[in-house]
Amino acid sequence: RQLDKVEHDLEQLERSKHQLTTELRSATTTLNTQQSAFTELLTESQFVDEAAFVSARLPKEAREALHTRKLALDNALQQAKLQLDSTQQALTLKLATAMTEESQETLASQHKQIQTDIDELSQKIGAIDQKLKDNDNQKGQQAEQLVAIDAQKQKLQIWQQLHTLIGSADGKKYRTFAQGLTFEVMISHANTQLQKMSDRYLLIHDECSPLELNVIDNYQGGDIRSTKNLSGGECFIISLALALGLSQMASHNIRVDSLFLDEGFGTLDEDSLDIALDTLTSLQQEGKLIGIISHVQALKDRILTQIKVEKL
């Protein structure tokens, strides 16, 4: 068995030897052929010997990269040649195709008409350009006028404000304006007197009408009330405060030493009556003569000096 195995291995080695001998003979022939070709090319080249060629040769990786790049460039060149041929054929076809079916006479007539239209449009453009220049000049003049108008508006604004405040043909606005100033002063004096009587009320003028009177009720959260919905007692107290304020205004030019009240006490409740009498008493203590015309019994009991009128 060992002999058979060795003989089998020997047979395989003989066949391998024969195959390698054949390949070596073929490779030797190829090498000789390439060596002869290389020697001829080396003789024709600028290299002195094989060593000079080897030292000048690029590395294998660089040669392979250049080879790959050459293949890519060859492919791109082939594609460009194909596209060029296709484009050349399309151009030849386009050049062979007529641009129009119109005759030369018709085209000449159309060209003449187009040239006429161009001339007319040029004239219109010139006219429009002139209009634009005129418009620019007018804009400059308008800008100067607008500046003058703004200057006049600033001057007018002062007179306009005066007109808004006091201007009217019949002088009513001015009278209302002047009366409103006086009314403000009177309200101020009346509030001073009203504070002596009660801290509940404060008089103000109506914002919409400068000569109308409103009342701030501090006992109702500062609510602004019209004088039209005041009770009789409230009306009496406020009227008394206004009268006292008016008398105080008049006292700047003339001394007011007397004050006469005709009725009105019958509408007062006890608290309002006490407030009114306390106020009148304080005025009497300041040296003023207070005259009251009334039929209210409570007044008769509290006022000692009286003039009685009896019907006969």
pLDDT at 265 over 80: no
Q: What is the model's pTM? A: 0.44
Cα 27 to chain center, whole Å? 90
200: tokens are: 């509940």
pLDDT at 64 over 70: yes
CB-count exposure of residue 197 (10 Å: 0-12, 13-18, 19+): buried
Closest CA to 262 of 236, 233, 244, 297: 236
CA dist., res. 143 & res. 154, Å (int): 17
pLDDT tens digit string along 161-209? 888 777 777 777 788 878 888 888 888 988 988 888 888 889 998 877 7
Architecture of domain 173-302 in CATH?
A: 3-Layer(aba) Sandwich (3.40)
Per-residue pLDDT at 251: 65
pLDDT at 25 over 90: yes
pLDDT tens digit string along 219-244? 888 888 888 888 877 888 888 888 88
32-57: average pLDDT: 86
Which residues, at least 6 apart from 42, have a Cβ–Cβ distance to it below 8 Å? 49, 50, 53
Which residues, at least 6 apart from 71, have a Cβ–Cβ distance to it below 8 Å? none
CA dist., res. 264 & res. 242, Å (int): 15
HSE at residue 115, side-chain half, CA atoms within 13 A, is 6
Are residues 224 and 215 in contact, defined by beta-carbon separation less than 8 angstroms? yes
pLDDT at 88 over 70: yes
CA dist., res. 144 & res. 211, Å (int): 46
CA dist., res. 26 & res. 24, Å (int): 5
Start-end ranges of CATH 3.40.50.300 in the chain? 173-302
Q: What is the mean pLDDT of the chain?
A: 86
